[in-house]
Amino acid sequence: MNLSVLKKKILIVVMDGLGDRGCKELDGLTPLQATKTPNLDWFTRNGIAGTCDTVDVGIRPGSDTSHLSILGYDPLEVYTGRGPFEAAGIGLIGKHGDVAFRCNFSTCDNDMNITDRRAGRVDKPDTTELVRSLEGMRIDGIEAIIKEGTEHRAALILRGGGLSPDVTDADSHDNGPIAWSKGRTPEAQFTADVLNKFVKETYKRLKDHPVNERRIAKGLPPANIILPRGAGSFPNIQSFPEKYDMKAACVAGVGMIKGICGVCGLDVIDLPGCCTGGYSSDFVSKAKAAMDTLKEYDFVLMNVKAPDVCGHDGDPKLKCDAIKRLDEMAGYFKNNFREDMVIVFTADHSTPCSLKDHSGDPVPITVYTPGNVRDDAVEFSESGCSHGRIGRIRGKYILPMCMDLADRAEKFGA
Ligand code: ZN
Ligand code: ZN
């Protein structure tokens, strides 16, 4: 056994929603097939390639469940709802047993009928001031912790014994918004009770709040009620750095991705304003941030959101343009490559322009490290990568595969 073998670092570049289907506007090609990507192709030609069902065959993944998979967890085992990841994304990281929700500041009339789900896209500093009046809330022995996010968004954590994530979203009904228990368990019914009392209490505290009086005077809809949805419990998972014995970080602009990584125990790196995650985000600066982070860390997950945005907008031309810029980003990685690293280019799911939403189509994956076995794949695309030796894998196997290529996997047996 050679003890002096250097353990390599691992960088996973997740191009969000990159996979697609044939587009009419592109003569039946996918945006990846229709766009020249010399740098991504270089990695594919020199590395190993395949296609990946991030959660499982035929499952349409959310960005949260697919990122859990890519981090080596099985979302079918640990995922209960997106609330905890949204909460963590705005800096509200709870503990096992807490039930978390994502929330909207909304507008309701005097009968608590919802008239605007986003309260006119209310934003900070109004929401910051409003949240202050909701602090210290206790309902039937349960602590309610709420924090504002961007625009009308907020997150809620319910903390205390006997809670369950098996509750519906608080939704409009004749007598105001109501959440129901999904299960018949006493815990689910208790949680729905607490949640309904919470919603009523937010209305009581917010309706005559000075911020809302100001908003009404200006002709804006008051943010006078909080609507929680997406209940989920914080998963009881082994932290990533412990599980894989790697110092790990994430470089991402989107709150929910930061949240997932935060819940898994990765350090979330603060990015300059150019890398916020929108379409106009500067990919090369983000790549540089990822390479800088890799100096201090063994593992970095980087997420680039732009292709997903183009897919949701149903704009194949714009997606091609995003891909061109992603290829420039890949060029930066090529030119600044560290010999002691394993790099992965993949997506968390497909977001076909024709569907304007996520699909279960497998995504391309290319892995490169000096000295790997070259295979027959030469082009980075949905079809091109299918010629490679990775074959078709599930997302949760990406990390074990990288651990082996990075000489970090332990021998099984004698
Ligand atoms: Zn995504
Ligand atoms: Zn999406």
Question: pLDDT tens for residues 56-74?
Answer: 999 999 999 999 999 999 9
Instruction: Label residue 104 exposed, middle or buried (CB < 10 Å: 0-12, 13-18, 19+).
Output: buried
Cα(310) to centroid of ligand 2, in Å? 9
Q: How far is the CA of 22 from the centre of ligand 2 (A)?
A: 18
> DSSP H helical segments within 224-345, as ranges?
240-244, 255-263, 283-296, 306-313, 316-335
CB 251 within 8 A of CB 271: yes
DSSP 203: H
Residue 29 tokens, joined? 């090609």
Token duo for residue 399: 């990390």
- Report the separation in Å between the CA atom of 64 and the middle of ligand 2, taken as the mean of its atom positions: 10
Distance between Cα 318 and ligand 2 center (Å) = 15
**Ligand 1 centre and the CA of 216: distance in Å?**
37
Residue 9, classed as helix, strand or coil, is: strand
Give the model confidence (pLDDT) of 351-383 as tens digits.
Answer: 999 999 999 999 999 999 999 999 999 999 999
Q: Are 129 and 211 in contact, with CB atoms under 8 Å apart?
A: yes
Question: Ligand 2 centroid vs 357 CA: distance in angstroms?
Answer: 6
180 C-alpha to ligand 2 centroid (Å)? 27
Q: Which ligand is nearest to the CA of 65?
A: 1
Shortest CA distance to 19 belongs to which of 360, 287, 377? 360
Length of the chain (residues):
414
393 CA to middle of ligand 2, Å? 21
Distance 349 CA to ligand 1 centre (A): 6
Measured in Å, residue 130 CA sits from the centre of ligand 2 at 30
The CATH 3.40.720.10 portion of the chain extends over: 9-79+237-405
CB–CB of 398/70 below 8 Å?
A: yes
Cα–Cα distance measured from residue 90 to residue 230, given in angstroms and rounded to the nearest whole number:
15
Whole-number percent of the chain with pLDDT over 90: 82
DSSP letters spanning 21-40: ---GGGTT--HHHHS--HHH
pLDDT digits (tens, 9 = 90+) for 162-181: 999 999 998 777 667 788 88
**More confidently predicted of 22 and 79:** 22
Distance 108 CA to ligand 1 centre (A): 32
Q: Ligand 1 centroid to 397 CA: how many Å?
A: 18
For the stretch 233-270, pLDDT in tens is 988 889 999 999 999 999 998 888 999 999 999 999 98
86 and 259 Cβ atoms separated by less than 8 Å = yes
Please check whether the domain covering 9-79+237-405 is classified as CATH 3.40.720.10. Answer: yes
Calculate how far, in angstroms, residue 9's C-alpha sits from the geometric centre of ligand 1: 24
Number of alpha carbons in the 13 Å side-chain half-sphere of residue 110: 0
Q: Per-residue pLDDT averaged across 335-345, rounded?
A: 97
Residues paired with 225 in a beta bridge? 106
- For ligand 2, the distance from its centroid to the CA atom of residue 309, given in whole angstroms, is 7
Task: Give residue 278's pLDDT.
Answer: 66
